[in-house]
């Protein structure tokens, strides 16, 4: 144990011990409104006020906020085996995704990750390229019908496009006709997860409260979408790899180990997981990226210069990724300033020590990419948007400082997919269009993802 441990005098609170500094119960109550209105900003404030390890005064459960890069690295990577996912956040998520890869804990997760990983290998995600261009061009076709200086809701456009891309790239389907309803169902389901996480009393799923009824309707829609995806696949007469390319669904259906393949419940859970995890995340990231580009004209000019020089008017493809280094740096930096997944959580299996404080077993540890990306030990001028931090010749970020996709064994399986999709989509739009803010500064609303409150209105203008 570190010698600093003794510096905080342990105190008893209800059934637990307080082992690290943090607000008192009274201080916590006075902050509740702020915590509900702006939870991500609240976590940053907590770090500023109480330090790198903060304990919240809950009398029945030890809950810690850990923000220093070294401690984050320990929880998520170095000592990851000591931290599982049995937390309220992931238990609520499991109401929607079941035991899919994102919410599954330790042993179930290990088997699944091994089975599914090949579906995200380099070659397997190559189809993201043409699908992204096709879907982006479809969206731009709609913009073509609008006159210059029209205001569009970028958040809305990104949400729809991201869902279509996931549907096409992973499951070889347009989710056509279903996009609107499936997008809404995903959002409704996620809203309820947040509502459940924020309410001290939640009713079991079978009691027909308004929220439970909304959840049941959303799950019905998602299950319907999964069924249609599977039915469509059954109808396909061609053999994968012969008259069409292998996609993720083929790989999921073929995945086998000594225990067999994925059963129909496991298959459902994975498909819903990928719709949920691969849709709003990318959309949120693209939306904030456009806000940052639009509000930094010098960045937009450099972006335009790069896409003009590299692409010379043709559509981007996967091979362009390495040459679109400024575009990629914009995406990386936007993910630092506005990480869509602003909070993740873990449960300690055994006692540990973080930042000099004792962390008991069965404690909840909150990690916030949002707060760590704003930690002065992680980034200089953390609040300012500066894509040059991520240019190829810039130093690699120190461990634990950059975690929009998480780090360690539970790191996002869709990272390369998301980066590829984002760079190709941004570059395709920037070839022909210039965007600028049409409203005031957007207010980040941290629910499951961080999205701009009330959407993101932007002017669209043809470049010429
Ligand atoms: C910008 C886009 C994305 C962001 C910011 C993002 C963020 C994250 C984060 C932070 C985690 C780790 C959660 C934790 O440690 O508790 C994660 C895990 C995961 N993500 Fe993503 N994600 C993105 C895109 C995607 C896409 C496109 C897919 C699938 C198509 C996907 C599927 C998953 C899955 C399945 C996991 C769980 C992995 C595991 O535990 O083995 N994500 N993501």
pLDDT in tens, 371-412: 999 999 999 999 999 999 999 999 999 999 999 999 999 999
Q: Would the CB of 274 count as within 6 Å of ligand 1?
A: yes
Spatial CA neighbour of 184 closest among 95, 280, 89: 280
- Phi/psi of residue 446, each to 5°? -90, 100
The arithmetic mean of pLDDT across residues 338-364, rounded, is 96
pLDDT of residue 3: 47
Alpha helices, H only, 278-368? 280-294, 297-311, 325-337
Among the residue ranges 184-188, 217-221, 437-441, the one predicted with the least confidence is: 184-188
Distances (CA, A) of 79 to 5, 20, 75, 76, 262: 19, 20, 6, 7, 29
Cα–ligand 1 centroid distance for 73 (angstroms): 17
| Predicted confidence band of residue 6 (pLDDT cuts 50, 70, 90) | very low
- Scan for tokens 């739009």, then name that residue: 429
- Scan for tokens 């953390």, then name that residue: 382
3-state secondary structure of 156: helix
Query: Could you say which DSSP state residue 77 is in?
Result: I
Helix axes 415-432, 297-311, angle to 10 degrees: 90
Average pLDDT, the chain: 89
Q: Would the CB of 326 count as within 6 Å of ligand 1?
A: no
Judged against a pLDDT cut of 50, whether residue 2 lies above it is answered with no
By most ligand atoms within 8 Å of CB, the mutation choice from 412, 419, 421, 448 for ligand 1 is 412
| Predicted confidence band of residue 414 (pLDDT cuts 50, 70, 90) | very high
Q: Is the dihedral of CA 77, 83, 87, 92 positive or negative?
A: positive
Judged against a pLDDT cut of 70, whether residue 464 lies above it is answered with yes
Q: Would the CB of 341 count as within 6 Å of ligand 1?
A: yes
Spatial CA neighbour of 307 closest among 288, 284, 289, 330: 330
Is residue 19 within 8 Å of residue 352, measured between CB atoms? Answer: no
By most ligand atoms within 8 Å of CB, the mutation choice from 87, 248, 281, 286 for ligand 1 is 281
Is residue 428 within 8 Å of residue 133, measured between CB atoms? Answer: yes
pLDDT of residue 259: 79
**What domain range is 164 assigned to?**
3-462
CB-based contacts of 256, cutoff 8 Å, min separation 6: 115
Query: Could you say which DSSP state residue 396 is in?
Result: P
pLDDT of residue 121: 82
Judged against a pLDDT cut of 60, whether residue 114 lies above it is answered with yes
Judged against a pLDDT cut of 80, whether residue 58 lies above it is answered with yes
The arithmetic mean of pLDDT across residues 325-346, rounded, is 97
Total domains in the chain come to 1
pLDDT of residue 237: 53
- What is the per-residue pLDDT across 141-186, written as a single tens digit (0 to 9) for each? 999 999 999 999 999 999 989 988 988 888 877 655 666 677 778 8
| Predicted confidence band of residue 238 (pLDDT cuts 50, 70, 90) | low
Alpha carbon 59 to its chain centroid, in Å, reads 31
Q: Whose CA is nearest to atom 37 of ligand 1?
A: 102
CATH code of 265's domain: 1.10.630.10
């Amino acid at each position: 144990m570190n010698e600093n441990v003794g510096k905080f005098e342990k105190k008893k609170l209800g059934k637990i011990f307080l082992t690290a500094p943090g607000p008192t119960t009274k201080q916590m109550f006075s902050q509740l409104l702020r915590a509900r209105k702006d939870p991500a900003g609240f976590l940053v404030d907590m770090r500023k006020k109480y330090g790198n390890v903060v304990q919240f005064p809950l009398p029945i459960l030890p809950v810690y906020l850990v923000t220093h890069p070294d401690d984050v690295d320990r929880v998520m990577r170095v000592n990851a085996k000591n931290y599982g996912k049995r937390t309220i956040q992931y238990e609520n998520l499991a109401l929607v995704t079941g035991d899919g890869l994102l919410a599954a804990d330790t042993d179930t997760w290990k088997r699944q990750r091994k089975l599914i990983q090949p579906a995200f290998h380099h070659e397997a995600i190559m189809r993201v390229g043409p699908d992204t261009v096709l879907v982006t061009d479809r969206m731009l076709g709609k913009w073509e019908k609008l006159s210059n200086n029209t205001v569009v809701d970028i958040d809305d456009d990104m949400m729809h496009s991201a869902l279509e891309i996931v549907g096409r790239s992973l499951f070889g389907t347009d989710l056509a006709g279903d996009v609107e309803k499936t997008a809404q169902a995903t959002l409704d389901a996620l809203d309820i997860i947040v509502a459940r996480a924020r309410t001290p009393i939640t009713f079991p799923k079978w009691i027909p409260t308004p929220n439970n009824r909304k959840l049941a309707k959303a799950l019905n829609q998602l299950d319907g979408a999964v069924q249609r995806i599977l039915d469509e696949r059954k109808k396909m007469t061609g053999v994968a790899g012969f008259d069409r390319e292998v996609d993720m669904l083929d790989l999921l259906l073929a995945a086998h180990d000594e225990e067999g393949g994925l059963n129909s419940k496991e298959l459902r859970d994975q498909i819903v997981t990928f719709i949920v995890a691969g849709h709003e995340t990318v959309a949120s990231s693209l939306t904030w990226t456009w806000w940052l580009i639009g509000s930094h004209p010098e960045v937009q000019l450099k972006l335009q210069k790069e896409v003009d020089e590299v692409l010379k008017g043709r559509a981007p493809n996967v091979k362009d990724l390495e040459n679109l280094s400024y575009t990629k740096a914009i995406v990386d930096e936007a993910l630092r300033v506005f990480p869509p997944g602003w909070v993740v959580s873990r449960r300690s299996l055994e006692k540990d020590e973080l930042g000099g404080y004792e962390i008991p077993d069965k404690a909840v540890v909150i990690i916030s990419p949002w707060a760590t990306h704003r930690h002065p030990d992680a980034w200089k001028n953390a609040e300012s948007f500066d894509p040059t931090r991520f240019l190829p010749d810039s130093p690699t970020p120190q461990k634990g400082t950059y975690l929009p996709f998480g780090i360690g064994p539970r790191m996002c399986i869709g990272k390369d997919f998301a980066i590829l999709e984002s760079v190709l989509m941004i570059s395709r739009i920037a070839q022909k269009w210039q965007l600028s803010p049409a409203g005031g500064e957007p207010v980040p609303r941290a629910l499951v993802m961080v999205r701009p409150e009330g959407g993101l209105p932007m002017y669209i203008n043809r470049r010429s």
